[in-house]
Structure 1
């Protein structure tokens, strides 16, 4: 079983903490990679998977005029708390992120690339997310009409077209990996919704088509943050069971932060056990937080 954790910092001391707690796999954001960090991680025999966030970030809104999506009424997508969703039809954004992925693969001794925010916008990590259908910019609508022959962006033709946009980007990354280093794993941080959630928002709003994506990725990582979504820990098992139908190994993420409610040691144990039922392993999200909570550290020691 894979025993993974996500680190937000490239603090070298965190590597020692991860090793001492029995982790064998690390996730780190590509912006935090350094030669010194990767050298030490490999010296400690960690598998290293690198997260690349794609369609998110207010900095991209400021950098590229077409990066901020438009909603159905023609208004710019609002920021929701920390989240600024980016328009996947912005080729300027995509070209920048594609080069980021290329540079990570060619520049570092890594084991996997995990795509994050590879979707249309939604701040989903809450109990009742606000769902915005995007992108209704004139340029996007022209492309939609050219691709489909339809002038009205409605119904299944509209959302399936948007799903195909996302799938095609993942296909490009798959091709890049096959070209540069075929042994590199390709993973996807997946929104843990089924078609029954929020009137099929996983397809209509977020536009992640897991059946199609399963032909391209090596691993799905459902982001099963149960407390943020105000779900019981058993929901994690239900979500992983749903993803198991797509025939790929699962490496779900388990929330450690007491946000917006406390996650007790018992709840934390149940979360891990639920994730393990259908998965190839578990990713503790995140190490920087969990080491500040002695009771959760003890859970990890006992389980692993």
Structure 2
């Protein structure tokens, strides 16, 4: 059975303004939608969309956010060159080791679960830093800030040499002498957050799915960066995650359509979990013809046992032919 899920529905979306939750739900069903991702739905909207037989999911950003460095001044990562992590367009990454940020995000998540009977919550930006949405992303090791270095040494029992007093010196020593323990430990920081997120979610919604938007890299991409750079290993995360959603935005990443299936199948094989790929529908119809969208959507469905997500609903609706493809699938 095909499940068509749209990312980015909000009550003020053009074409839905002024509608009641029930009216919006009927309209979404008319275009073939089976579920939507929203940011902060209240109970009335969730109940109304449920009445239309739609599932409602929430996406929550974790270790990134516009303005996060101002809100949490110690959160800005330090690269292996000893420099502050760059702001890349809208992307401001944060270290996954900052206790107050982790607590803040977990409290946000629990507030969401408490406020409305959503069907699932997907963690986004749940990784170490990388602005990956391009063919040749800027890659750097992170983070060599005092908080992260102290926690790494306490947890592993590995001590930095006394002369490694600066971030770049610490990075050089770790990557030369303790790279594998470092990469493993970084992955565990992500796993531990996801495990606690699952517990918080199920405290209020025991049947809700916990999903995760993942960077679309496999072990063949950039020399294993899925572990070495972002610390997202589906195998280690599998016991805590119900659904993985690799962000297979082929146009942004300079890949062909077949790549969507390759990444999605790899994630499933490595994790043993359900995979709902999320594909892009951002570019205008002139740049991204409906025929290519159709091939993209078919590839995602074939690689996922019939469930996929389109990013975004606005992009889908800008081209009636895309909607026809979506509805007919």
Q: TM-score, normalised by structure 1?
A: 0.94
How far does the alpha carbon of each residue in 1:155-201 deviate from its partner, in whole angstroms, 9 at most, with x for none? 11111110000001001112223333221111111111101101111
Determine which of 250, 256, 262 is the counterpart of 2:281: 256
Q: Secondary structure at the match of 1:187?
A: strand
The SS at the match of 1:77 is coil
Give 1:266's aligned residue: 291
Cα displacement string for residues 234-291 of structure 1 (whole angstroms, at most 9, x for unaligned residues): 11011111112121111111110128x9222111111111111221401111112211
Given that 1:265 and 1:295 are in contact with CA atoms closer than 8 Å, whether structure 2 keeps it comes out as yes
Larger radius of gyration, structure 1 or 2?
2
Matched, 1:66 2:91: no
- Aligned pairs for 1:213-228 (under 5 A) are 213-228=237-252
* Counterpart secondary structure, 1:258: coil
Q: Kindly provide the CA deviation profile for residues 130-173 of structure 1, in whole angstroms up to 9, marking residues without a partner as x.
A: 01211111221111111112224321111111000000100111
Shift of 1:28: 1.4
| Contact 2:98–2:147 (Cα < 8 Å) also in 1 | no
Q: Does 1:167 align with 2:191?
A: yes
1:240 paired with 2:259, answer: no
TM norm structure 2 = 0.87
Indicate which of 33, 56, 67 corresponds to 1:23: 33
Superposition CA RMSD, Å: 1.8
> What SS is found at the alignment partner of 2:87?
coil
Which ranges of 4 or more aligned residues in structure 1 deviate by more than 6 Å?
none
C-alpha separation in 2, matches of 1:28 and 1:184: 15
- Unaligned 5+ runs, structure 2: 17-23, 161-172
Match of residue 163 from structure 2? none
Displacement of 1:8 in angstroms is: 5.0
Q: Distance in 2 between matches of 1:70 and 1:15?
A: 45
Contact kept? 1:60, 1:93, Cα under 8 Å: no
1:82 aligns with 2:90: yes
| Separation of aligned partners in 2, 1:140 and 1:27 | 33
Q: Is this contact kept in 2: 1:9–1:288, CA < 8 A?
A: no
* Gap change, CA 1:10 and 1:160, over 3 Å in 2: farther
Greater Cα offset, 201-210 or 9-18: 9-18
Distance 1:185 1:57, change over 3 A: same
- Give the distance between the partners of 1:273 and 1:213, measured in 2 at CA: 27
